[in-house]
Structure 1
Amino acid sequence: MKRAIRYLRFSQLGQSNGSIERQELYTDQWLAFNDVTLIDTFIDRGKSARTFDRPDFNKLREFITKHHSSVDYLLVDQLDRFSRDAGEAMSLVKLLQQKYNIQIVSVTEGITFDYNTPGSFFRAGLQLLLAEEDNINRSIKVKGGIYTAKAKEGRFVYKNAPFGYTKQGERKDRKLIINESEAKIVRFIYNSYLGGTPLYLIKENAISMGFNRKGNMAVERVFNKSRICRLVER
């Protein structure tokens, strides 16, 4: 009789353990249907699939190194439980098959990974690439959501305060307040520009007034700050 180990994972501790129970159910069904004996289970709770450096996944690899001769399959619910890094995942599953003669099975996707079978290789690679793309999209949305939430609350989201402002408060609730001495320079730059003063003269006068930002485009960047209107209107 064939023998298998399985790997179960969910990424956020706030998720329900029902995620693990569901993965157990689907892998149990596959085991029963294919008449395969389960010899061990490895579970990572609240661990991201961006890296293979996870406690139980490391235990799984140690187990395979010692007991690979008694294992035919490594079961996962879906390939993204295994990893969301397509290149790293493909290399590892290839190693498991070629070095240890263990095949990875994605039970809900119906894929038995076989590096030597073009159709299986393509399907597994496609699923891993889709998982990695989904991970990238999630990261972009999370970062965008954090930025939007902070901006709506008036919290400062950049490392350095723009010229004309000073950071105030602890990191979590940090906001910008107007630095009046710098704001006068910003108003001078803006009004001089509107009045047709050559840019090189604006730069010279701004520096003499205390404009201390470095770089050839430092003054030009003042015009690109979204908060400039607050300084000019005062």
Structure 2
Amino acid sequence: MMITQRKAFLYPRVSTDEQADGYSLSHQEDVLMRYCEKENIQVIGVYREDHSAKTFDRPEFQKMLNVVSKNKGIVDLILFSKWDRFSRNVAAAYEMIGRLRKYAVEPQSIEQPLDMEIPESKIMLAIYLTTPEVENDRRALNTLHGMRKAKKEGRYLGIAPLGYKNGRDAHNKPLLIPNEKADIVKWAFEELSRGVWDIDTLRRMVNQKGIKIGRSQFWSLVRNPVYCGKIFIAAYKNEAAHCVKGIHQPIVSEQLFDDVQDVF
């Protein structure tokens, strides 16, 4: 008895933060092509997606879905490497699987194959779809906690503010170091504390001294406690926003910084 050759659309997908090895479109496509050659599956087309899988509102997927819906029988399969390439939303994935079935099309992962006729497969599908998202959330949470811990130790994280440069301490940990513009920043604070100049006039004077800065940026500068040696820690859960003593060298004294805030 002659076995009809199955036909498939290939669906490699990445999002902008998944360009690492193992997730690239070319790698996924190569793996899918070799699988089809081995399994004697005819490749009808390839839809390469660079979009998040939180919903199915993706340009290439919608193009593929449109072709499938208007050309019943054009393919039997939509193949992808892993289930999180298809979706990262369990409810949306179940709904789309049901919709594709109406077109006699089976979505299938070549690395995590499931027989959706078996009820228990739904449990495995949920695991495959949610595990990457849980891992991402855990990494994000670990990063958040790590950053808060570093700030509580007095370390400034991110691009150095005007008057400082990013450096490293003896333990190769981030450290703010005053640069050649620190004296101009200190002068600005001293002049503001006198209450003689309005802030925009003083900003223009600072520009003339060599620091090109806009209004909102200058306003943020003179209210930033980092210049008196403090690190601001934002509120989180039951912990109120507060400042801690930084390990970097302050450009102005705490008294001068407070005097400027009083002038405002």
Q: Same fold (TM over 0.5)?
A: yes
- After TM superposition, the score normalised by the length of structure 2 is 0.54
* Residue equivalent to 2:126: 125
User: What is the 5 A alignment of 1:151-230?
Assistant: 151-153=156-158, 175=220, 177-178=222-223, 224-227=240-243
Alignment counterpart, residue 106 of structure 2, candidates 103, 108, 113: 103
Does the residue aligned with 1:87 lie in a helix, a strand or coil? helix
Superposed CA offset, 1:188-230 (max 9, x none) = xxxxxxxxxxxxxxxxxxxxxxxxxxxxxxxxxxx95412889
Q: Distance in 2 between the 1:139 and 1:66 partners? A: 41
Aligned pairs, how many?
A: 176
Q: CA deviation at 1:124?
A: 1.8
2:15 corresponds to which letter in structure 1?
S
Q: CA deviation at 1:176?
A: 5.7
- State whether residues 8 and 81 of structure 1, in contact with CA within 8 Å, keep that contact through their aligned partners in structure 2: yes
Q: Distance in 2 between the 1:34 and 1:43 partners? A: 21
* Residue equivalent to 1:43: 48
Q: Distance in 2 between the 1:151 and 1:36 partners? A: 56
* Residue equivalent to 1:70: 74
Q: CA deviation at 1:133?
A: 1.9
Structure 1: gaps spanning 5 or more residues: 156-167, 180-222
* Residue equivalent to 1:205: none
Q: Structure 2 vs 1, CA of residues 132 and 229 (structure 1 numbering), >3 Å: closer, same or farther? A: closer
Superposed CA offset, 1:29-53 (max 9, x none) = 22122211111110112x2222222
Q: Structure 2 vs 1, CA of residues 48 and 152 (structure 1 numbering), >3 Å: closer, same or farther? A: same
Q: CA deviation at 1:113?
A: 4.6
Q: Structure 2 vs 1, CA of residues 27 and 178 (structure 1 numbering), >3 Å: closer, same or farther? A: closer
- State whether residues 113 and 121 of structure 1, in contact with CA within 8 Å, keep that contact through their aligned partners in structure 2: no
1:6 corresponds to which letter in structure 2?
L
Q: Distance in 2 between the 1:134 and 1:59 partners? A: 30
Does the residue aligned with 1:74 lie in a helix, a strand or coil? strand
Q: CA deviation at 1:135?
A: 3.9
1:51 corresponds to which letter in structure 2?
T
Structure 2: gaps spanning 5 or more residues: 162-202, 204-212, 225-238, 247-253, 256-264
* Residue equivalent to 2:38: 33
Q: Structure 2 vs 1, CA of residues 138 and 84 (structure 1 numbering), >3 Å: closer, same or farther? A: farther
2:13 corresponds to which letter in structure 1?
R
